[in-house]
Structure formats: C-alpha cells, structure tokens
Structure 1
Amino acid sequence: MTGPVRRPAGALALVAAAAGALVAVVLGFLTFGAQATVAPDGVPVAVAAPPETAQRLAAHGGGQLAWTVATRAEARQLLADKKVYGVLELAPGPVATVVTSGAVNPAGTQVAQQALTGAATALAGPPKQEVLHPVSPAGRTAPLAASALTWIGALVAGLGLTQLAKRTGREIGAGARFLQVVAVGVLLTAAVAGFFALWDSALPLDAGVLGFVLLAATAFAAVQAGLLRLLGLRAMAVLGPLYLVAPAVAGQVPELLNPAYRALLWSWTPFRFPAEGLRSLLQGVPGAPDVTTGLWVLGALLAAGLLVTLWPARSARQEAEPHPADRVVEVGVH
C-alpha cells in the first residue's frame, strides 16, 4: 500500500515566497502606487473676472487647471454643486478673493486653493480667503473614516458568522443572514455616531446623517454576506484588499490620480460614494448631487446584496417542490 506523496519542503517554500511577492505587488499597485503617482491634471476651478483678465488666467497653470469663466453667483453655485474645487473672484473690488468649501473633498480643495492663491497674487497681490461651510479637522476625516469603518466592521461580522457556522456545523439560513445584515447596520451606525460625537461634538447627528450611515453599513454588510455565501472564505481575497483602497484612492479626487487608477479603481470603488455624500450632509448641503448619487448606488448595492444573500438555495427549492411520487397523475380510460 503506497503512502501519500510528500513534496519537498523547498518547493513549498518557493511557492509560499512567490505568493507573498504576488500579494505585495497587488497591494503595492492598489495602495502606494495610487499615492506615488498623484499629480494635478485638469483640476476644475472657476473665475469671476472681466473677460480680458479671465483669458490671461486661462493660460495659467498649463494642463493642471481647467478654468471656467462665470459670474460671481454662477461660480459659487458651481462650487456648491461640487463641479469646481475653488473660485477666484477678481471683481468687484481691488482685492481678489479665493473661495473654497468645506463640503468639497479636501484633497481637491488644497490643490485649488494653492493654485488660485498663486494666480491671484501674480495679478492683484495676496488674496483674501473665504471658506463656505467651514470644516474642522474631524469633519474632514469623518466621511472617509465612516466609510472605511463600516466596510471593515461588516467584513469582520460576516467572516465571524461564516467561521462560527463552520466550526459548529450549523447551516446559515436566510433568516440568520438577514438578521446579521440588519444588526450590523444598526450597531455600526451607533459606533460611527459615537466616534463623530467624540471627535467633534459640533458634527450634526440628525436623521439625514444617521440614515445615510445606516444605508451604507447595511449595503456593505449585504454585499459582503452575498459574496461570502457564494464563495465562502475565498471571498476574502476580494473583500480584504478592497479595504486598503479606501484611504489611497477614495480619499483623492479623480483629477489628481493617474488615469489608470482613475479608470480602474476610483471609478467604481464603493468607498467614495458614502464618503462624498456624507461629507455634504455633515456640512449642511443635503441637496448636493453626490448625496443623490450615493443614495442610488448604496440602494442598488443593498438590493443586489440582499437578493444574493436571501435567494433560496437549490436544495431548499427542491424540498419546496412536490416529489414526483406525491404528484397526482391523471389516467384516462379509453
């Protein structure tokens, strides 16, 4: 009787080393690569100035800035709609004004503010700085933090349920999965609200903010539960690295990312939708376009996740169908 074939330990060591190198390459591409290649490219800004001055500004900054000439009211509306990251006002008055907003992604705001301050200084001297919807350091950090925390919290809960069921030999039914999604959403919303209150008591915790966080948490929990049901622990190969994308990609604006990262990662990463929508809600801009977009995207994720999570298993559907032996067969007599 032949025994099991034993592979040399050296071969196993090489396989493990290759796997570690592959993981390092993937994570390096997803995280540090996005940060290392950051460079402004077509950052949208607006200018309210006489036509001749606006034309001079349009040539400032090369391809790093994308200028929009508008009236003062139009430029500020563009900023409120998050279509530009900053506004330079050169008229009326002898002193220029650089206007930014705390409801806009801070990465884009910082680049726009530096560029507009330099342009204004070259034309009319140091400008005044005006901030719409002023934001505290906690307010800048909270939106992306809430998005990442809800993802990792839901992931740990889903992994824990899968492992506990495997160790105890219990089957996870649709009712248990649904209960987990709801419980995770409620508990993570409470945890995020507690952090917001701890970090900055001035951050609003109204129904709009808490409801948006609850939607994001339940949507993430439902998607993860669905993937864990389909793939088991193999789903961690997808769900785990996604968490690392949050600070590296979702925290940036697309105009600062390399085009490859912009198309392959930023365009679909789930973290940016709750982060940007929550940023507007925290700064008192509930009608911002990214709030509406976030509601649609997170609602779709929740619906798709629940559909996969709660869809009856094949064995359950077969048990629900009548057995051939139990069916009534009509016999005709000729």
Structure 2
Amino acid sequence: MRTALVAAVAGAVVAFLLGLLTFGVQATVHPHDVPLAVVAPPPIAERVKAADSPEVDLKVVGADEARTLLADKEVYGVLEISPGKATIRLNPAVNPSGTQVAQQVLTGVAQGAGLPVGVEGQVVSAAERTAPLAASALLWVGGMISGLLFVVLKGRRLRLLSAVTTAVLVVGSVTGLLAWWGVTVSAKTLSFLLAVAVSFALLQAGLFKQLGIRAMGVLGILYLMAPAVAGQVPELLNPAYKAVLWSWTPFRFSAEGLRSLMYGGSIGAEWWVFGGIALAGLVLLLAGKEAQPDRADGVVDVGVHEADGLPRPERQHTA
C-alpha cells in the first residue's frame, strides 16, 4: 500500500513540475514592453506616443537610429511614416515570434493614422524560422542518445573520443536535414553548429560518467523544458519564467546565434557560453572515477574477499 501511494504521489508531482516548466511557459505568454521604433513627422509622432501601452514600448526616433536599432536587434520592427504611406521594416535575424508581434502592432498604428502600409524585409520560409531551435534541440538529442548508449553498452574507454565523434556526425546529419529543408548553411554557421554540438556532447558525456544512467534525469528534463522557453520572445514571457529559465538555457543562446549567422549577422557572447559548457564537460570527464552501475542481482560489491573470513551471502555456494 505504501509503495503504491508513493508511486502515485511521485507521478502527480512530476506531472505538475513538468507542466509548470513546459506548458506553463506557453500558457502564461503575454506581451509587455515589446520594443518597437517609429519614424514619423512631429504631429503623427505625438499621436504615436499617446498610443503607447504596457504591452509595447514605442520609441519615436530618427530614420538612421531606427535602422541601427533594428540591425542591432534592439527593436523587433520599425514603422516609417512618410506623407501618404507607411512602411514596416523587419529584420529576419530577430526572433520570428517577436517579428510577428511587431508587424501586428505596427500595422495597427499605421491603420490608426489612416495610412496604407507595406512591409519591407527578407522573406523567411517556415523552414528558416524553425531551423535555429530545431538544430539546437537535435544537437542535444544526438549527444544525449550517444552518451546513454555508451553507458548501456558498458563502455569504459575512449569516452572523450566518442563524444567528439558524436558531435561531428550529428552536425553532419543536422546539416543534411537543413539542406533538405532548403536552409543554406555558411561556413561560419557550420563552425558554430560544431561548437554547440561539441559542448553539448562533452557536457553530456561528463554527466554520464559521473552519474551513470541517472544523468538522464537531468538531461531529459533540460530537453523537455528548455526548447519551450528558448523559442519564446523574452518580452512575451512571464517575468518568473524569463528569470528562472530563459535567462540561462543554452538552447536560447544556440538558437539566437544560429539565427544571427544565417542572415549575415555576428555573434560574440555565444562563443563564450559554449566554450564554458565545453570546459565544464571536460572537467567532469577528467575528474573522479567512473560511476559504478548496480549489479543486476541487486548485490553491491563492497570489495570483501574470502580471505577476510566473513560469511558469504546465503545464495553463494562453494564448488
């Protein structure tokens, strides 16, 4: 009875926590202070400022400053108003969810001013919108499955070589998928994919070495919750989720870095993030002893020999 109750409670608790950390992110999405830029003559600029709300942060700036903000991904979209027309400018390197919100809001502002509105920006396919987060998740899954099989198959040697080889092969398979989907991968993007894959594989291999198959409890939960957060715009997230999950998840850094590189942008902090993850993985791989799996018969070998004169378990018999 006690075992049944404990199992039932554990299942309910795990379901609650996973729901809180995954579906809860999407269920609580609501825009707040979404940064947008507007270029407009003084009379219209005053009307735009009056339309500001807690959901959006409308910045009325000059044309050059607006384009700089957009290029630097400081805003999700720019509305340029000129006599008789309005133009929305978008940056494909910006999170597509943020771009969608920007287009909807800025279209409403233009229509409120009674102006026809057009959109300028590189057309982004569904595959290109999906690719950064999909590639990040697949790199994680590939390293995780390889590390798990290494433990299950009782591998002991060449764990580091296995991790690096896994990273190279998984990058090859992901790149092939992206090419099939019609997504072009530059040399710089490919090098970043490899850096992400190596860092993921090293971290996972290190955890599997230290924890054995129990590492799946950590790696599996990270996989379940991180993509749900990483694909969201921070200004749409509940502040608690933004601080507790979005701020540190490596999936966010890999997706943002890939998206920037796909459209000719540059990255900086992302290299340091994945360099740090790779270093942590190496430390785990080189530190301590291999995790010892439990024996199949439930008996733990404590290193006592017959010469110690201690009694054997009843089920052991001499020849």
Does residue 149 of structure 2 align to residue 192 of structure 1? Answer: no
Q: 1:21 aligns with which of 12, 22, 31?
A: 12
Does residue 212 of structure 2 align to residue 212 of structure 1? Answer: no
| Structure 1 length-normalised TM | 0.83
- Quick one: distance in 1 between partners of 2:69 and 2:281? 35
- Could you tell me whether the CA contact under 8 Å between 1:117 and 1:126 is conserved in 2? no
- What whole-Å deviation, never above 9, does each CA across 1:162-196 have from its counterpart, x for those lacking one? 1111xxxx5x24xx121022111101110111111
- Could you tell me whether the CA contact under 8 Å between 1:89 and 1:96 is conserved in 2? yes
| Equivalence for 1:267 | 247
Q: 1:113 aligns with which of 92, 103, 108?
A: 103
Q: Report how far residue 26 of structure 1 moved.
A: 1.0
| Equivalence for 2:133 | 144
- Could you tell me whether the CA contact under 8 Å between 2:52 and 2:58 is conserved in 1? no
- Quick one: distance in 1 between partners of 2:89 and 2:270? 26
| Equivalence for 2:2 | 11
Q: Which amino acid aligns with 2:166?
A: V
- Could you tell me whether the CA contact under 8 Å between 1:135 and 1:283 is conserved in 2? no
- Could you tell me whether the CA contact under 8 Å between 2:79 and 2:89 is conserved in 1? yes
Q: Report how far residue 312 of structure 1 moved.
A: 5.8
**Change over 3 Å in CA distance of 1:280–1:185 after alignment to 2:** same
In percent, how many aligned pairs have the same letter?
53
Q: Report how far residue 140 of structure 1 moved.
A: 0.3
- Could you tell me whether the CA contact under 8 Å between 2:93 and 2:260 is conserved in 1? yes
| Equivalence for 1:244 | 224
Q: Report how far residue 267 of structure 1 moved.
A: 0.4
Q: Report how far residue 60 of structure 1 moved.
A: 1.8
Q: Which amino acid aligns with 2:134?
A: A
Does residue 31 of structure 2 align to residue 55 of structure 1? Answer: no
| Equivalence for 1:234 | 214
Q: Report how far residue 11 of structure 1 moved.
A: 1.9
- Could you tell me whether the CA contact under 8 Å between 1:228 and 1:235 is conserved in 2? yes
Q: Which amino acid aligns with 2:180?
A: L
Unaligned runs of 5+ in 2: 291-319
| Equivalence for 1:82 | 73
SS across alignment from 1:101: coil
| Equivalence for 1:43 | 34
Q: Report how far residue 311 of structure 1 moved.
A: 3.3
Q: Which runs of at least 4 in structure 1 moved beyond 6 Å after TM superposition?
A: none
| Equivalence for 2:317 | none
Q: Which amino acid aligns with 1:37?
A: T
Paired positions, count = 290
SS across alignment from 1:121: helix
| Equivalence for 2:143 | 154
| Equivalence for 2:165 | 183
Q: 1:309 aligns with which of 277, 285, 288?
A: 285
| Structure 2 length-normalised TM | 0.87
Q: Which amino acid aligns with 1:302?
A: A
- Quick one: distance in 2 between partners of 1:248 and 1:54? 37
- Could you tell me whether the CA contact under 8 Å between 1:144 and 1:246 is conserved in 2? no
Higher helix residue share: 1
- Could you tell me whether the CA contact under 8 Å between 1:162 and 1:232 is conserved in 2? yes
- Quick one: distance in 1 between partners of 2:282 and 2:123? 38
Does residue 274 of structure 2 align to residue 292 of structure 1? Answer: no
SS across alignment from 1:66: strand
- Could you tell me whether the CA contact under 8 Å between 2:210 and 2:289 is conserved in 1? no
Q: Which amino acid aligns with 1:299?
A: G
Unaligned runs of 5+ in 1: 1-9, 315-334
- Could you tell me whether the CA contact under 8 Å between 1:103 and 1:280 is conserved in 2? yes
- Quick one: distance in 2 between partners of 1:300 and 1:247? 20
Q: Report how far residue 57 of structure 1 moved.
A: 1.3
Does residue 14 of structure 2 align to residue 34 of structure 1? Answer: no
| Equivalence for 1:225 | 205
Instruction: Return 238-247 or 25-34, whichever deviates more.
Output: 238-247
RMSD: 1.6
